[in-house]
Amino acid sequence: MNPQELIHVGEGFLRGLFQRMNLAIQVKGDADQRGGYVFELRGDVITLKRRADVMSALGTLLGQALSQAAGERVRSALDLEGRYLLREALLETVALDVAANVKITGRRGVLAGLNPAERRLVHGVISEDKEIATHSEGQPESRILFIEPA
């Protein structure tokens, strides 16, 4: 299944759910730079903003629907009113700044409070720099990402 078809599947899936939930939410899907998909949600999203558990469940269901349609695991994310893409850009900048500081000082940097997707993003950004290494430690709900000289 090509990317446009998967975007169509994801948009249709989410629109159907929101229609059943009586929420006036517009959905626009797009492929991201890392081979996944981001679905931006706009409109009556106040209910979703207040309920992290609902957002988590929607993300899981969307991922399962896309993976089933594709016949393989598909990464996806929900973006409430463009905030996901802004957070992603901020994390990339922070990761590169911390990596630059690690190179200068030789001391490791620490990023805490990141969810699994955010940690993956930082690992991916830093992996391009052969002078710097990353790893995570801790329990799933409180993992810490370390950035250190390779």
Q: What's this model's pTM, rounded to 2 decimal places?
A: 0.68
> Over the stretch 100-149, which tens digit does the pLDDT of each residue have?
999 999 999 999 888 888 888 899 899 989 999 999 999 877 889 999 99
In one-letter notation, the amino acid at residue 140 is P
Other CB atoms closer than 10 Å to residue 74's CB: what's the count? 22
pLDDT value at residue 109: 94
Residue with tokens 């463009």: 82
Give percent of the chain above pLDDT 70: 100
pLDDT value at residue 128: 86
Other CB atoms closer than 10 Å to residue 90's CB: what's the count? 10
Sorted by where each starts, the structural domains of the chain and their CATH numbers stand as: 3-81 (3.30.300.20), 85-149 (3.30.1370.50)
pLDDT value at residue 136: 93
pLDDT value at residue 48: 85
